[in-house]
Amino acid sequence: MFKSLFESAQNSTFRSPFTSVNCQAATPASSSSSDLALADVATPAVTSLDDVSPRKHSPNHNFAAAAAAPLGDSCEFGSNKYFLLCGLGGIISCGSTHTMVVPLDLVKCRLQVDPAKYKSVFNGFRVSLAEEGVRGLGKGWAPTFIGYSMQGLCKFGLYEVFKVIYGDAIGEENAFLYRTGLYLASSASAEFFADIALAPMEAAKVKIQTTPGFAKTLREALPKMTAQEGIGAFYKGLVPLWMRQIPYTMMKFACFERTLELLYKYVVPKPRADCTKGEQLIVTFAAGYIAGVFCAIVSHPADTVVSKLNQAKGASALDVAKQLGWAGLWGGLVPRIVMIGTLTAAQWFIYDAVKVTLRMPRPPPPEMPESLKKKLGVTGEQ
């Protein structure tokens, strides 16, 4: 299975189109296939110009030739190590950023569940500070850090996995032509599993932040929630969480990927290959912020339901939505746009920075395959 996945990654449209070729003498024809495989593993050098196009060889040759990482990279694109490091980048980016905005998240949740008491963002901060002091603004940091670290692991790691699997399933040309759909499908699949990991900690966080006197710490909240509602207390918000997070993540990844393409094509004054890593990270941050604004808008009604649902004992998502009404579903939108815009931009920046730090492959935006260029009669860059 993993060998097949690795082969798919090597043929993916989203792999770097740039291949380094070392001019060396061709391997003698008398060499056995096993010797060729071992030679390929031992060095990243390409022994003939034909090796630049891996689809011209057998799958076994593809796998052997791809086994060695390009010079300077710590791993090969599509390898198990690559996917695991993507998951690590997700842990660092999601866990740290969500924890940093806990005070704003706390006020946002309170605005959603008790608008009569917390009338605005500034009023929410003032009331919260008056009642609980500065320390109170950090309530819920532990479940936030744990929950969103687990979510980040699944979100970013599985997104890369599904992108390779789905891209291989529809073929190289379709993967390029319908790449927006590919981004949407891959991110939705990844988020489905990410939310299962997040749900228990999200439920505990909202309970701590929005129910006065319930609990001050995660250790205090978990046994109380279990005693009152059983294990179901941690997953009763899973469906509305899917309703919130799946559209959010689909927008987060698809909008980011396409915005990145457009920025490099129309805004950045030089090709990505000529940009320094620092300049590339700035472009990443800008694309992430633009994506974050749209993320906040499409997922906000479900976010309001999740906040209210975890506060109201025994209520269903539909009951909460009816109680809030259409206007109530949009409560707290402004602080959430600020929070999610900043959050998403920071996550993409940190995730890309982790890739740079760990010397991971960072493929440029996908290019039209040569076979498709020939079919469409395209001669210039697309």
Residue-level pLDDT, tens digit, the chain, 382 residues: 545 555 555 555 555 433 333 334 444 444 444 443 434 444 444 444 344 333 333 333 333 333 344 567 899 998 999 999 999 999 999 999 999 989 988 888 888 788 889 888 889 999 999 999 999 899 999 999 999 999 999 999 999 999 999 999 999 999 999 999 999 999 999 999 999 999 999 999 989 988 888 998 999 999 999 999 899 889 988 998 898 889 889 999 999 999 999 999 999 999 998 999 999 999 999 999 999 998 888 888 888 887 777 666 667 778 788 888 888 888 888 888 887 888 899 999 999 999 999 999 998 888 888 888 888 887 755 5
Question: Which residues lie closer than 8 Å to 121 by C-beta, 6 or more apart?
Answer: 107, 108, 111, 334, 335
Q: At what angle do helices 2-10 and 80-100 cross, to 10 degrees?
A: 80
Dmax (CA) for the chain in angstroms is 83
pLDDT tens, residue by residue, 159-187: 999 999 999 999 999 999 999 999 999 99
For residue 373, the model assigns a pLDDT of 87
For residue 70, the model assigns a pLDDT of 54
Distance of CA 17 to the CA centre of its chain: 23
Distance of CA 115 to the CA centre of its chain: 32
Neighbouring C-beta atoms of residue 114, cutoff 10 Å: 17
Distances (CA, A) of 27 to 41, 307, 328: 14, 64, 70
DSSP string computed for 170-235: H-HHHHHHTHHHHHHHHHHHHHHHHHHHHHHHHHHHHHHHHSTTS-SSHHHHHHHHHHHH-GGGGT
Q: 63: closest CA among 34, 20, 22, 84?
A: 34
The residue assigned the tokens 């974050």 is: 292
| Token pair in block for residue 206 | 């909202």
Distance in angstroms (rounded) separating the CA atoms of residues 64 and 206: 50
Do 331 and 112 meet the contact criterion of CB atoms below 8 Å apart? Answer: yes
Do 188 and 249 meet the contact criterion of CB atoms below 8 Å apart? Answer: yes
For residue 7, the model assigns a pLDDT of 58
For residue 6, the model assigns a pLDDT of 52
Distance in angstroms (rounded) separating the CA atoms of residues 29 and 92: 48
The residue assigned the tokens 């060095």 is: 43
For residue 310, the model assigns a pLDDT of 64
pLDDT tens, residue by residue, 247-305: 889 999 999 999 999 999 999 999 998 999 999 999 999 999 999 998 888 888 888 88
Q: 148: closest CA among 113, 213, 199?
A: 199
| Token pair in block for residue 34 | 């096993």
For residue 82, the model assigns a pLDDT of 96
Distance in angstroms (rounded) separating the CA atoms of residues 114 and 118: 6
For residue 177, the model assigns a pLDDT of 93
For residue 15, the model assigns a pLDDT of 54
Three-state secondary-structure class, residue 287: helix
